[in-house]
C-alpha cells in the first residue's frame, strides 16, 4: 500500500504571516490538527516552509514549560512553525510512514511530489488502510491452518482448497516460525467444519474451526446415526 | 368461531431441500417438527394453513432480475456462464434441477405467513422451512437462494404499510436481510450472532448500523465463541428490548435458527436447549409488549438436524400457540421418523447432556458481549429517537 492510496488529498495550507490566534481559530473550524505552511519563493512558486500542530498552538501564552515567553497569539505563525519539515513522497510505502511517525514523534507528514504539496498523511489514514485487509469482501468462513514454511507448502494448501471447489477471498498470516507458518484463509462456504475435516483427513493441521468428525460425504450416505440424549 | 391465534404454514414441497438429500441443509426438519407436534397433540388440523402463490413483482422488488434469470435457468438445467458470480454452482449452493421451484415455494410460504398476520387471520404465523437469510439481492449464499424473509418484510412494509422489526437469532449474521434493507428506516434489522471474525459470513460487526435514511436501523450484536445461556441472554437484554421499544414495530419477523445450540456442528456458541427456548421466549414477550403479539416466525439454520432442531422448534411452537409438551416424546413419532430418516431420534424434549463449558472462555465471552451490547445501545439510541 502506497502513501498516495491512503493520504488525505484535501489539505488545507496556510501562509507564514497568519497570526497564531487566527490559525488556532481556523484549525478549530476545519477540525484538523496540522497545517502545512506554504510561502512563495523568488519564482513565485509555493514552497513548503513549515508545519504547525494543534499542540504547538496550545503552548502559546500558556503556563506550559515549553511555551516561549517571547511569543504571543498576535505574532505570525512563522515564529512557532516547525522547520525543516519531515515529509513523505506519494510512492513511499504506507507501512514505512507508520514507522516514521513514531520515529520522528510527529502527528502528520505533508506529502510532497517534487516541490508540490499533494496531501498529508496522519495516523487515522494509516489505520484505515491497515484495517482494510480485514474487511470482509464476500460471504465467507475463516480457516486457520498450519502451513510448512517451505516453497510450495502454501501453494499446496490453496491447491487443495481449489480442488474442493472453494474460492479464497482473503489470505493473511498470523505467525511464521522457522518450520511452520500459520495462515488464515477466508473461503466461500458456510460449512467450514466440513472443509476443516477434509483438510485434516488429508494431513493438514487446522487450528480453527474444529474439524467435523464425519467421513467425507458420499451421495449414497443417509443421515448419520445420532446419539440419543 | 374464533380463529386460531397461531397458524403453521406448510406444504408437502417444503419437505424437499432445493439442493437434494446429500446436502447439509435439511428441509425435512420442518416436517419432522410438525410430525412431533401432531404426535404430541400440540398441533391441530385447523391450525395448518396452505401456501399462497407469490406475486412475481414482489420477487423483483427484492432480487435483481439478472440473478432471478440465472437462478431459473440454472434450475432448469440450462447453461449459465456467470453462475459463480451469482453464487450458484458453489459447494454451498450447487446447481440442482428444480431448485428454483423449491426455493420459491419456500418464499411463497413465508409471504403467506406474513399475509395471515397482516390480514388479521392470525396473530402469529410460522413457516419452519423458511428463514433463508443469507440470500442477497443478486447472490445465492450459505444454502440460501431466495430471501423469503426479505420478501415477507417487503410485503408487510410496502403493501401493508407496516413497520417491521426483524429479529434474527440464527447463529450466523443475517447478512442478506440486513443488506436488502440497509437504507430503510421502516425496517429495523436486529441480528444476534457469532462474530464474523470466527464464523460465516464474516459480516455483522457492531459498526454496521445502516446508511442513509436507514442509518441506525441495522443493529448487530456479534458474540465470541463459547458464550453460554446466561452470557447470551444478558447481552440480548441489554440491547434488543431497548431497540424494539424505541422503534415501535407493528409486527416482528423472527428468524428462529437453532444453530446457536452447543451441539450445532457448523458453529461454536454454547447455548443449551433451554437457552434457545429462553431466547425465543424473549422475542415473543417483546412482541406482546411492542405490537400486540403480532409475529411472523420462520426456522433457519440448525444442523444438529435430528436432535436439537425438532426439540427447539417444537418448544418454539408450544410457546407461540400456548401449548404444553410432554417431556417424554411419543414413541410413534420416534419410530416412524427414525426409520424414515435412518437415525435414532431423541426420547425426551429436554436434553440430558449439557455443554461442557470452559468457565474462563464463557466468562470472557459474556463480559465482552455485554460491553458490545451496551456500546451499540449507547451509540444507536440517539438515532432511534422518533420525531413525533
Ligand atoms: Zn445459521
pLDDT tens-digit profile of A65-124?
A: 777 888 999 999 999 999 999 999 999 989 899 999 998 889 999 999 989 999 999 999
DSSP assignment string, A116-142: EEEEEE-HHHHHHHHHGGGS--SS-EE
- Residue count of chain B, please give it: 388
| Whether residue B24 has pLDDT greater than 90 | no
A168-176 vs A205-208, strand pairing mode:
unpaired
Selection from A123, A126, A94, A117 nearest residue A33 by Cα: A123
Which helix (H) or strand (E) is A48 found in, with range?
strand A46-53
- At B353 the three-state DSSP class reads coil
The CA distance from B74 to A27, in Å, is 59
The CA distance from B166 to B150, in Å, is 9
Mean pLDDT, range B146-166, rounded to an integer: 98
Query: Cell digits for A161?
Result: 482448497
Selection from B361, B363, B368, B383 nearest residue B221 by Cα: B368
Omega prior to A84 cis, within 30 of 0: yes
Q: In chain A, what residues touch B340 (CB-CB under 8 Å)?
A: none
Question: For position A226, what pLDDT does the model report?
Answer: 35
The CA distance from A196 to A154, in Å, is 16
The CA distance from A54 to A107, in Å, is 10
Question: For position A225, what pLDDT does the model report?
Answer: 34
Domains and CATH numbers, chain A: 3-121+217-228 (3.10.580.10), 127-208 (3.30.70.260)
pLDDT tens-digit profile of B304-339?
A: 999 999 999 999 999 999 999 999 999 999 999 999
pLDDT tens-digit profile of B262-280?
A: 999 999 999 999 999 999 9
When the pLDDT of each residue in chain B is averaged and rounded to a whole number, the result is 95
| Whether residue A199 has pLDDT greater than 80 | yes
Rounded distance from Cα B259 to ligand 1 centre (Å): 6
Question: For position A137, what pLDDT does the model report?
Answer: 81
When the pLDDT of each residue in chain A is averaged and rounded to a whole number, the result is 88
Contact A144, A207 (CB under 8 A): yes
Mean pLDDT, range B66-80, rounded to an integer: 96
Measured torsion, CA atoms of residues B281, B287, B288, B293, in degrees rounded to the nearest 10: -110
Question: For position B157, what pLDDT does the model report?
Answer: 98
Question: For position A223, what pLDDT does the model report?
Answer: 38
A7 exposure class (CB count in 10 Å sphere: 0-12, 13-18, 19+): buried
A64 exposure class (CB count in 10 Å sphere: 0-12, 13-18, 19+): exposed
The CA distance from A220 to B356, in Å, is 33
pLDDT tens-digit profile of B158-214?
A: 999 999 999 999 999 999 999 999 999 999 999 999 999 999 999 999 999 999 999
The CA distance from B106 to B147, in Å, is 9
**What residues of chain B, 172 to 191, have a C-beta less than 8 Å from chain A?**
172, 175
| Whether residue A229 has pLDDT greater than 80 | no
A159 exposure class (CB count in 10 Å sphere: 0-12, 13-18, 19+): exposed
B317 φ, ψ (degrees, to nearest 5): -60, -45
The CA distance from B179 to B118, in Å, is 24
B299 exposure class (CB count in 10 Å sphere: 0-12, 13-18, 19+): buried
A-B CB pairs within 8 A amount to 99
Rounded distance from Cα B59 to ligand 1 centre (Å): 23
Q: Which residues of B are known catalytic residues? A: 134
pLDDT tens-digit profile of A114-158?
A: 899 999 999 999 988 877 777 788 999 999 999 998 899 999 999
| Whether residue A218 has pLDDT greater than 50 | no
| Whether residue B386 has pLDDT greater than 70 | no
| Whether residue B343 has pLDDT greater than 70 | yes
| Whether residue B379 has pLDDT greater than 60 | yes
B346, A142: Cβ pair inside 8 Å? no
The CA distance from B171 to B356, in Å, is 19
A192, B347: Cβ pair inside 8 Å? no
Question: For position A227, what pLDDT does the model report?
Answer: 36
Question: For position B3, what pLDDT does the model report?
Answer: 54
Selection from B150, B153, B129, B128 nearest residue B139 by Cα: B150
Q: In chain B, what residues touch A144 (CB-CB under 8 Å)?
A: none
For domain B8-387, give the CATH number. 3.40.800.20
Residue B106 burial (CB count, 10 A): 30
The CA distance from B150 to B111, in Å, is 9
Q: In chain A, what residues touch B87 (CB-CB under 8 Å)?
A: 139, 188
Nearest to B201 among A139, A166, A212 (CB): A139
Domain boundaries, chain B: 8-387
The CA distance from B207 to B203, in Å, is 10
Rounded distance from Cα B196 to ligand 1 centre (Å): 12
- Residue count of chain A, please give it: 229
pLDDT tens-digit profile of B99-130?
A: 999 999 999 999 999 999 999 999 999 999 99
Question: For position A174, what pLDDT does the model report?
Answer: 78
More confident residue, A223 or A49: A49
| Whether residue A36 has pLDDT greater than 70 | yes
B276 exposure class (CB count in 10 Å sphere: 0-12, 13-18, 19+): buried
Question: For position A65, what pLDDT does the model report?
Answer: 79
pLDDT band (50, 70, 90) for residue B2: low
Question: For position A95, what pLDDT does the model report?
Answer: 87
pTM value? 0.87
The CA distance from B108 to B97, in Å, is 19
| Whether residue A175 has pLDDT greater than 70 | yes
More confident residue, A114 or B387: A114
Least confident of B8-17, B150-159, B327-336: B8-17
A139, B203: Cβ pair inside 8 Å? yes
B295-298 vs B48-49, strand pairing mode:
unpaired
pLDDT tens-digit profile of B207-251?
A: 999 999 999 999 999 999 999 999 999 999 999 999 999 999 999
Contact A184, A174 (CB under 8 A): yes
**Nearest chain A residue to B25, by CA:** A191
The CA distance from A100 to A163, in Å, is 44
Question: For position B4, what pLDDT does the model report?
Answer: 60
| Whether residue B356 has pLDDT greater than 80 | yes
Rounded distance from Cα B208 to ligand 1 centre (Å): 19
Amino acid at each position: 500500500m502506497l502513501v498516495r492510496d491512503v493520504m488525505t488529498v484535501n489539505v488545507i495550507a496556510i501562509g507564514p504571516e497568519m497570526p497564531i490566534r487566527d490559525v488556532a481559530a481556523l484549525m478549530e473550524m476545519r477540525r484538523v490538527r496540522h497545517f502545512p505552511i506554504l510561502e512563495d519563493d523568488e519564482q513565485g512558486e509555493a514552497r513548503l516552509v513549515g508545519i504547525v500542530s494543534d499542540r504547538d498552538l496550545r503552548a502559546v501564552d500558556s503556563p506550559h514549560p515549553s511555551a516561549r515567553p517571547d511569543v504571543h497569539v498576535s505574532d505570525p505563525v512563522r515564529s512557532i512553525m516547525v522547520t525543516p519539515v519531515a515529509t513523505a513522497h506519494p510512492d513511499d510505502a504506507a507501512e514505512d510512514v507508520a514507522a516514521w511517525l513514531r520515529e520522528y514523534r510527529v502527528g502528520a507528514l505533508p506529502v510532497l511530489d517534487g516541490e508540490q504539496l499533494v496531501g498529508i498523511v496522519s495516523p487515522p489514514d494509516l489505520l484505515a488502510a491497515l484495517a482494510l485487509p480485514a474487511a470482509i469482501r464476500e460471504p465467507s468462513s475463516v480457516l486457520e491452518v498450519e502451513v510448512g514454511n517451505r516453497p510450495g507448502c502454501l501453494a499446496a494448501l490453496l491447491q487443495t482448497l481449489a480442488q474442493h471447489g472453494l474460492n479464497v477471498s482473503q489470505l493473511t498470516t498470523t505467525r511464521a516460525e522457522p518450520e511452520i507458518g500459520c495462515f488464515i484463509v477466508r473461503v466461500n462456504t458456510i460449512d467450514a467444519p466440513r472443509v476443516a475435516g477434509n483438510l485434516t483427513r488429508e494431513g493438514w493441521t487446522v487450528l480453527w474451526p474444529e474439524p467435523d468428525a464425519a467421513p467425507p460425504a458420499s451421495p449414497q450416505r443417509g443421515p448419520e446415526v445420532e446419539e440419543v440424549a | 368461531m374464533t380463529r386460531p391465534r397461531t397458524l403453521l404454514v406448510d406444504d408437502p414441497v417444503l419437505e424437499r431441500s432445493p439442493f437434494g438429500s446429500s446436502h447439509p441443509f435439511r428441509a425435512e426438519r420442518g416436517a419432522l417438527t410438525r410430525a412431533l407436534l401432531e404426535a404430541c397433540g400440540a398441533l391441530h388440523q385447523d391450525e395448518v394453513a396452505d401456501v399462497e402463490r407469490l406475486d412475481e413483482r414482489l420477487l423483483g422488488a427484492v432480487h435483481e432480475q439478472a440473478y432471478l434469470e440465472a437462478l431459473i435457468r440454472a434450475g432448469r438445467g440450462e447453461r449459465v456462464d456467470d453462475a459463480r458470480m451469482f453464487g450458484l454452482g458453489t459447494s454451498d449452493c450447487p446447481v440442482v434441477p428444480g431448485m428454483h421451484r423449491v426455493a420459491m415455494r419456500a418464499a411463497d410460504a413465508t409471504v403467506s405467513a406474513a399475509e395471515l398476520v397482516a390480514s388479521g387471520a392470525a396473530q402469529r404465523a410460522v413457516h419452519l422451512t423458511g428463514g433463508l437469510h443469507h440470500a442477497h439481492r443478486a447472490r445465492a449464499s450459505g444454502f440460501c437462494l431466495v430471501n423469503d424473509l426479505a420478501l415477507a418484510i417487503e410485503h408487510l412494509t410496502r403493501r401493508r404499510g407496516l413497520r417491521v422489526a426483524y429479529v434474527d437469532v440464527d447463529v450466523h449474521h443475517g447478512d442478506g436481510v440486513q443488506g436488502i434493507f440497509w437504507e430503510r428506516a421502516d425496517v429495523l434489522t436486529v441480528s444476534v450472532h457469532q462474530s464474523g471474525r470466527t464464523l460465516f459470513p464474516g459480516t455483522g460487526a457492531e459498526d454496521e448500523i445502516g446508511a442513509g435514511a436507514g442509518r441506525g436501523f441495522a443493529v448487530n450484536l456479534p458474540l465470541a465463541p463459547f458464550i453460554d445461556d446466561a452470557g447470551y441472554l444478558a447481552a440480548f437484554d441489554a440491547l434488543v428490548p431497548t431497540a424494539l421499544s424505541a422503534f415501535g414495530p407493528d409486527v416482528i419477523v423472527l428468524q428462529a435458527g437453532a444453530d446457536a445450540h452447543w451441539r450445532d456442528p457448523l458453529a461454536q456458541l454454547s447455548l443449551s436447549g433451554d437457552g434457545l427456548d429462553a431466547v425465543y421466549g424473549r422475542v415473543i414477550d417483546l412482541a406482546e409488549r411492542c405490537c400486540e403479539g403480532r409475529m411472523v416466525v420462520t426456522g433457519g439454520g440448525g444442523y444438529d438436524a435430528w436432535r436439537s432442531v425438532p426439540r427447539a422448534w417444537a418448544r418454539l411452537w408450544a410457546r407461540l400457540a400456548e401449548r404444553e409438551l410432554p417431556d417424554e416424546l411419543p414413541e410413534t413419532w420416534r419410530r416412524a421418523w427414525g426409520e424414515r430418516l435412518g437415525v435414532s431420534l431423541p426420547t425426551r424434549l429436554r436434553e440430558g447432556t449439557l455443554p461442557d463449558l470452559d468457565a474462563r472462555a464463557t466468562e470472557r465471552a459474556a463480559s465482552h458481549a455485554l460491553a458490545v451490547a451496551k456500546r451499540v445501545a449507547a451509540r444507536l439510541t440517539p438515532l432511534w429517537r422518533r420525531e413525533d
